[in-house]
Amino acid sequence: RRQQLPNPPGPKGLPLLGNLFDFPTTDPVSAALKWHRQYGNITSLHMLGKSIVYLHSAQTAKDLLMKRGAIYSDRPQLIMATDLYAILGPDDDRLRKQRALMERVIGAASIPAHCQLLEIETIGLLHRLVQAPEDYRAHFVRYSTALTCLVVYGHRVTSNEDWLVKMLKGSLDLLANDIIPPPPKGIWAVDMFPFLKHIPAWVPFASFKRKALKWRAQMADGYTRPFIQVKKKLAEGTAIPSFCSILLQEAEYMSAEKEDNIKWAANSIVAAIKIGTVINNLLLLIVLHPAKFMKAKAEIDNVVKGHLPTLADRLSLPYTECVLSEVLRVAAPVPLGLPHRLREDDHYNGYFLPKDSVVIANIMAMLREKSLYPDPEAFLPERFDPTMVDETTRMTRDPRRWIFGFGRSRRCPGMHLAEASTWLAMVSILATLDVTKDVDVDGNVIEPEVKFDNLNYRHVSGFE
Ligand code: HEM
C-alpha cells in the first residue's frame, strides 16, 4: 500500500538521468528555496535512480529527522569518501563511541574548561586585525584553525607557515574540492555502482581507484601526524590539556580500538569546524547593520570596564545575546545542513519515501519561516528580546534549534564550542575595534557586495 503512495512533488526529470541537470552547481541554496516556494514543505528529486528529499519546514525536519531519528540518521553512502577514507561514517556503534568522546570533552559541561584557550586565541585575533585590518579574511581562517589545533591537539600555532595548519588546509581542500565537491561534479561512478570498488587500481578506467589511493595516503597523514605528536608530548610530560591528551590520559588501559576512536573523533572535529565562516559573515553584518551593533557595543562598554571581555561577562549582556541569535539566524552558516540517509522505506503525509533516499534539511528556509520570524529578511535582534517577546516565543524562535542540524546521533557535537567562540569573538571585536564600510579615494562610501564563495558552508566573499 505504501508503494502506491506518490513520491513528494518536485521538478520533472529526464528518463534515467532524473533531475541530474536540475542540481545547480553554483547556488544550491537558492534552488532549494525555489523548490520550497513551488512544491511546499517537502520536495523530492531523482538522480540516476537515487531519491533526494528536501525538508523545507521546521515541522517536517522535526517529524522525520528527530522523531524518526532511528531510521533517518545515517549519512549517504559515499564510497569514495567513506569506504576509502572512513571520514563520513554511518550511524553505527563506532560513531556513537566517537560522539560520546566528543560530548565528554567539547560538550556543554566542558566549555568552561576551554574558556582560557578561547580567550588566548581571541586576543591573537584582535592583534592581527589591528596590525593588518585589510587581511581580515586570512586572520579569521588563522583564528579558526589555531583554535581547533589548540582545543583538539594542544598545538599552539605561532605562524601562518605552521606545519599543522598547512596540512589541515591541504586535507580540507582535498575533501571539499576533489572528494565531495557539490553535485553533479562530486558524483563518483563507484557511489552509484558500489561493486566497482572491487576493481583493481591498474584497470585502465579505474582512475577513481588510483586517485583514492593517492588521496587516502594524504588524508591519513593529516590525522595521524598530529595524533602521534600528542602522544610524544604526553610521554615527555609537555602536553597541554586538549581533546586528545585528556582522553588518552583518562584510560588506565588504552585499547587499540579506543585509541582509534579518539584519533577519528579528533579528525571529524577538525574537518567540521566552521567558526571562521561565522565570524567572516558576522563582520559583513556589522558593516550592513551598524545601529544594532552600536547598541550592543554601548551595552558592552557599560558592563566591561577596564578589561577585555571574557565569557564570564556573558550573562550581564542581554541585548548582545539577542544580536548573537540574530547573527546565527541571518548568517545560516550551514544552510542545507549535512545530508542524512533514510535506512528503510517510510511514508509521511501521504507520500512514499524510499529506502536510501538522501534527506536534506533546508535550514535556510526554516530560518526564514514567516510565521516564526515576521519580516524574515530584516536584521532584528529585538525578535529575541525578553523585554518584548514572551519566553515560549523566544524558545521557538531560537535559531540554535535548527542551525546545528537534527537528530540525537547527528546534531552538531561542536555547537557549544562554536557558540561560545562566536560570542567571544563578536563581543571582543565590538569592544575594541571600529568596523565600518571602506571609502574610495574621493571619500565616497563603498557599499559591500554581498556574495558567497562557498555555499555549502555559507562563506561570504571578500568585501571592502
Ligand atoms: C556555528 C558553527 C557551526 C555550525 C552552524 C555547525 C552546524 C553543523 C551541522 C548543521 C551539522 C550536521 C548535523 C546533521 O547532520 O543534521 C554539523 C555536524 C558536525 N559538526 Fe558542526 N557546526 C558548527 C561548528 C562546529 C564546531 C566548532 C565543531 C567542532 C568543534 C563541529 C563539529 C561537527 C561534527 C564533528 C559534525 C558531524 C557530526 C556527525 O556526523 O555525527 N561543528 N555541524
- Tens-digit pLDDT profile for residues 277-321: 788 889 999 999 999 999 999 999 999 988 899 999 999 999 999
Q: Are 42 and 196 in contact (CB under 8 A)?
A: no
Question: Quick one: average pLDDT of 373-378?
Answer: 96
Q: Where are the beta strands (DSSP E) in 182-266?
A: none
Question: Quick one: average pLDDT of 225-241?
Answer: 93
268 lines ligand 1 (CB under 6 A): yes
**Three-class SS of residue 403?**
helix
Q: For residue 454, report the distance from its CA to the centre of ligand 1, in Å.
A: 16
Instruction: Supply φ then ψ for residue 367, to 5 degrees.
Output: -75, -5
Q: Given its phi and psi angles, is residue 447 left (phi above 0), alpha (psi -120 to 50 degrees) or beta?
A: beta
Q: C-alpha grid cell for residue 284?
A: 559583513
Q: Are 106 and 151 in contact (CB under 8 A)?
A: yes
412 lines ligand 1 (CB under 6 A): yes
Write down all domains in the chain, each with its CATH number in brackets. 2-436 (1.10.630.10)
Please indicate whether residue 267 or residue 317 has the higher confidence score (pLDDT). 317
CA distances from 139 to 13, 142, 385, 460 (A): 44, 5, 32, 14
Per-residue pLDDT at 431 exceeds 70: yes
Lowest mean pLDDT among 108-112, 116-120, 156-160, 205-209: 205-209
Q: Which residues of 27-56 are buried (b: 16+ CB within 10 A; e: fewer)?
A: ebbebbbebbeebebbbbbbbeebbbbbbb
pLDDT, tens digit (0-9, with 9 covering 90-100), for 383-425 = 999 999 999 999 999 999 999 999 988 999 999 999 999 999 9
Mutate which of 342, 402, 412, 460 for ligand 1 pocket (most atoms within 8 A of beta carbon):
412
Q: For residue 29, report the distance from its CA to the centre of ligand 1, in Å.
A: 18
Q: Which atom of ligand 1 is nearest to the CA of 417?
A: 27
pLDDT, tens digit (0-9, with 9 covering 90-100), for 49-102 = 889 999 999 999 999 999 999 999 998 877 666 655 444 566 788 889 999 999
User: Under 8 Å CB-to-CB from 28, ≥6 apart: which residues?
Assistant: 182, 336, 455, 456
pLDDT, tens digit (0-9, with 9 covering 90-100), for 337-348 = 988 999 999 999
Which residue's CA lies nearest to atom 43 of ligand 1? 412
pLDDT bin (cut points 50, 70, 90) of residue 27 is confident
